[in-house]
Structure 1
C-alpha cells in the first residue's frame, strides 16, 4: 500500500468520526437540549421571580376596581364628661360616660372617570407584564441554549487539546530518539519541548474554560450538566429571508409588545391625572347610636343619607404638575417602542449574518481539517526520511489543531445563531419549542384575583 493511499484512508476515517466528536460529549444516556431547557423553565430563579412579579401586577386590577365598590367603616368612642345644667331655676350637675357608635357607608357616583381609566391602565399593565414575562422566558431559554452549547464546545476543545498534547509528546519522544542517534540537533529537541509545554498550558486553559462553562450551566439550567449531545437543527423554524425575520420580530417580539402596552398604560394614566380636575359625587349613609351624650339624655340615635359633591377649584398646583408629568411619561413610553423596534431590527441583521458566517466557516473548517490532516501525515512521512524539519511537523500539528478548533467553534456558533433568530421572531418559548413541561399560564392567577372583594391569602395559599 502506498503512502498516499494510507494517508487518504486516515483522512476519510477522521472525517467520518469527527462530525460526531466535534459537538457531542456522548450519545449514551445523553441529556438532550430540550430536557435541559425544560429544567431551566422550571428551576431558573430569574424566571420564577418574574412570574411572581407578574402575579403582583395582576393585583393592580382589583385595586382599581375597588373604586366602583362601596366602602364601609365603623367608629366608636368613649369618654368621661362633667356636665352642669340649669332648668327652671333648678341646677343639675354630675358626671357622665358618653359612648358613641357609628356606621358609615359611602358609594362613589362619579369621580372624573378616574376609576374606569385606572382599571384600563391596570389591565394594560397586566398585558405588558405578561409580555415582559414572555421576554424573560425567551432570555432564560436562550441563555440555556448558550450555556448548553458552551459546555459541549468546552468538552470538545479540551478533547482536542488533549489529543494535541499526546501527539506533541509523541513527536518529542521521536525527536529525542533521532537526536540520540545524531539525526537532528538539540535545537529540534528544544522546539519540540517548547510546543509540549505550550500544549500543556492549553490543556490547563481548556480545563478552566470547561469549569467556567459548567458553572454557568448550573446557574442557568439549575442542575449540573450531565451527558450532553448535539441538538437537532431548528433552522426550519426560521423565516426564509432577513426581511421576513425583521417583519415578524417587529410584530411578535415580547419586548416590543411590552413597550406597546406600556404606551397604553401611560395614556390612561394621563386621563387619571386629568380626572383630578373634575368634580366628584358620592352617596353617603350613616347610622349612629349614642349613650349618655348629655347629662339630661340617656341615649340618642340618628340616621342620615346625603349626596355630596366636591368641586376642585385650586389645590396648590399639584394636579397640574401630575398631568404634565404623565404626559412626559407617555412621550417616553412611545419613544421606548421605537428603541425596542430598532434593537430588534439590529439584532435580526446581526444574528442572520452570524448564522450565514457560521455555515460558511463550517464548510471552510471542514476543508481545512481534511487538508491539514493530509498535510500532517505527509510531513511526518517526509520528516522520517529527512525531507522535512521538526519545525515543519510541529507547525503542521498546530495547524490541524487550530482548524479542528475552528470547526468546533463554528458548529457551536451556528446553533446559537439559529436559536437567537428564533428568539427574534418571538418563538423561543416552551410552547413553540414543545418542551415537556407544564406551561405556566399567567391568566389563571389573574382570573382568580380579578373580582376578589376580600381575603388576604393568595390563590396558592400564602
Structure 2
C-alpha cells in the first residue's frame, strides 16, 4: 500500500526517485555490502589452499660459492728419523650445484579431503553472512528513504501551520483592535506562533539528519522522492508460516548451521594427526667441485623413495586439539539454537510492529478527520463569541498533532513491512525485483576453487 497524500514527494528535478530505485542503488554501490562481498571472495581462496594438500610439490635448490681447502695426507715415515711424513695440498674451488625435489602425498589420513569440505562449509557460512549484510542494507535503505519522506512531510506540515497561525494572529489582533478579544488572546496567539516556529526549526534539523543517513546508505542525495510502498504482498499468509520459513531460510540460521558443519569437519581434520601418512619423493642432484671443494670433481645423483610416517606419540598436543575441536562443535550447535530463538523473536516482534502501524493508520485517519471537523466548528463558534482564541489554537494544534501522527504511522507501516520480510530471511534484491544485476558469489568460487597457479585475481588485479 503506497503512502497517502500526507507523505508528499520532495521537490527537485523531474526525474522521480522511487523506493526500489533507491534500494537498487544501495545494492549496487553500498561500501558495507561491497566489503562483505569482498570478504566472501577472500574466504573462497580457502578451498584451493586446502586442495594443495594432495597436489604435487616441487622445488629447486641451487648453491654456489668459493671454498678454500688445506689438506694434509699421511705419506709414511722418514727412514732416517722414523717420524711420520705428510703431504700437504692447498687449493681454492668453486662448489656449485642444483637439486630438484619432487613430493607427492599418497595418503594423509584424509586431512586434505576433510579440509576441503571444511573450507566449503566456511564459504557457505560467509555467503549467508553476506546475505545478512544485504538484508541490513536494504532494510536500512528503506528506513532512510521513509525517514526522509516522513521528515519532509512533517516539516511541510509545520511550515503550513506557521502560515495558519500567522493568519490567526492577524485576525486576533484585528479583533483586539475592535474590542472583541483581550490582550491575553493576542498573547496566546503569539505564543502559539513562536512555538510553531521552534518546532519547524527542529523539523528542519531532523530532516537534515535523515538526508545525511540517506546519503550514507544509498550513496546519493535524495531528490524528488516518490511515496513508498509496503511489501506486505511478499509476506507469508500467517505468523506461523513466517516463523517456519525463517527457521529454515534466515541467513543467520543458515550461517550457524554451516558453522556447525565446519566445526564437525574440524574434528576430523584434527583426528588426521593420528593417522599414518604416505608420500612419494624424488630427487635429482648435480654438483660440481663438491667433493671436498676439489676443482674438477662432479657428482650426479637421483633418488626415488616412498616414505611412510606412522605417528605413535607426539607429546599429547594432537589429543588436546581433538578434544578442543569437539568442544567447538558443541559451541557451534548452541549458537545455532541461539540463532533460531533470536530469529523467532524477531519475526514475532516485527509482525507486532506491522500490525500496530496498520491499526495506527486507521485510528490516525479517523483522528485527522475528527480534528478537521472540530477545528472548523471551533472557528465558527469563536466568531460568535462561544469559543475563545485559546480554544481555536488548541484545536489547530490537535489537528497538527493528528496529521503528524498519521504521517509517522504511514512511515512505520512501510518500514515494518520491510522488517518482517527481513526477519524471515527474504529481504533481497531478487525478492524485491530490483532493477540490478544480481551478485552471484558462486561465480568467483568456480573461478578459483581448482586454480593451480597464478597470482592474478579473476578480475585482473
Which bracket does the TM-score occupy, shorter chain normalised? Answer: over 0.9
Give the counterpart of 1:39 among 25, 33, 44. Answer: 25
Match of 1:385 in 2: 384
Match of 2:323 in 1: 324
Shift of residue 256, structure 1, vs aligned partner: 0.8
Shift of residue 25, structure 1, vs aligned partner: 3.6
User: Which residues in structure 2 correspond to 1:33-112 (within 5 Å)?
Assistant: 33-79=19-65, 80-84=67-71, 86=73, 91=87, 93-95=89-91, 96-112=93-109
Matched, 1:399 2:398: yes
Matched, 1:147 2:134: no
Match of 1:10 in 2: none
Match of 1:231 in 2: 228
Match of 2:170 in 1: 173
8 Å CA contact 2:343, 2:424 repeated in 1: no
Shift of residue 191, structure 1, vs aligned partner: 1.4
In the aligned structure 2, how far is the partner of 1:32 from the partner of 1:98? 77
In the aligned structure 1, how far is the partner of 2:70 from the partner of 2:437? 73
**Segment of structure 1 superposing worse, 262-271 or 215-224:** 262-271
User: Which residues in structure 2 correspond to 1:152-301 (within 5 Å)?
Assistant: 152-294=149-291, 295=294, 298-301=297-300
Secondary structure class of the residue paired with 1:307? strand
In the aligned structure 1, how far is the partner of 2:124 from the partner of 2:426? 18
Shift of residue 131, structure 1, vs aligned partner: 1.2
Secondary structure class of the residue paired with 2:60? strand
Secondary structure class of the residue paired with 1:357? helix
Matched, 1:303 2:302: yes
Secondary structure class of the residue paired with 2:391? helix
8 Å CA contact 1:23, 1:411 repeated in 2: no
Query: Could you list the per-position Cα deviations for residues 174-201 of structure 1 after superposition, in whole angstroms to 9, with x for gaps in the alignment?
Result: 1111122222222111111111111111
**Segment of structure 1 superposing worse, 186-195 or 145-154:** 186-195
In the aligned structure 2, how far is the partner of 1:142 from the partner of 1:22? 19
Query: Could you list the per-position Cα deviations for residues 40-77 of structure 1 after superposition, in whole angstroms to 9, with x for gaps in the alignment?
Result: 01110000001111101000000000011011011122
**Segment of structure 1 superposing worse, 18-27 or 290-299:** 18-27
In the aligned structure 2, how far is the partner of 1:120 from the partner of 1:352? 38
Gaps of 5+ in 2: 77-85
In the aligned structure 1, how far is the partner of 2:154 from the partner of 2:433? 31
Shift of residue 83, structure 1, vs aligned partner: 4.6
Shift of residue 346, structure 1, vs aligned partner: 0.6
Shift of residue 85, structure 1, vs aligned partner: 5.7
| Residues 1:70 and 1:85: Cα distance change in structure 2 (over 3 Å) | farther
Secondary structure class of the residue paired with 1:22? coil
In the aligned structure 2, how far is the partner of 1:325 from the partner of 1:47? 34
**Segment of structure 1 superposing worse, 218-227 or 19-28:** 19-28
In the aligned structure 2, how far is the partner of 1:296 from the partner of 1:46? 66
In the aligned structure 2, how far is the partner of 1:23 from the partner of 1:331? 53
| Residues 1:141 and 1:31: Cα distance change in structure 2 (over 3 Å) | same
8 Å CA contact 2:230, 2:413 repeated in 1: no
| Residues 1:393 and 1:105: Cα distance change in structure 2 (over 3 Å) | same
8 Å CA contact 1:81, 1:98 repeated in 2: no
8 Å CA contact 2:108, 2:272 repeated in 1: yes
In the aligned structure 2, how far is the partner of 1:339 from the partner of 1:275? 31
In the aligned structure 1, how far is the partner of 2:416 from the partner of 2:171? 44
8 Å CA contact 1:22, 1:407 repeated in 2: no
8 Å CA contact 1:348, 1:421 repeated in 2: yes
| Residues 1:24 and 1:364: Cα distance change in structure 2 (over 3 Å) | farther
Highest CA radius of gyration, 1 or 2? 2
Shift of residue 419, structure 1, vs aligned partner: 1.2
Secondary structure class of the residue paired with 2:4? helix
| Residues 1:328 and 1:23: Cα distance change in structure 2 (over 3 Å) | farther
| Residues 1:296 and 1:386: Cα distance change in structure 2 (over 3 Å) | closer
In the aligned structure 2, how far is the partner of 1:182 from the partner of 1:325? 90
In the aligned structure 2, how far is the partner of 1:177 from the partner of 1:122? 82
Query: Could you list the per-position Cα deviations for residues 128-159 of structure 1 after superposition, in whole angstroms to 9, with x for gaps in the alignment?
Result: 11111111111111111001100000100001
Query: Could you list the per-position Cα deviations for residues 69-119 of structure 1 after superposition, in whole angstroms to 9, with x for gaps in the alignment?
Result: 011011122231415264876836232222231110011112221111100
| Residues 1:83 and 1:285: Cα distance change in structure 2 (over 3 Å) | farther
Aligned length: 445
In the aligned structure 2, how far is the partner of 1:23 from the partner of 1:358? 19
Secondary structure class of the residue paired with 1:293? coil
- Return the TM-score normalized by structure 2: 0.93
In the aligned structure 1, how far is the partner of 2:368 from the partner of 2:388? 22
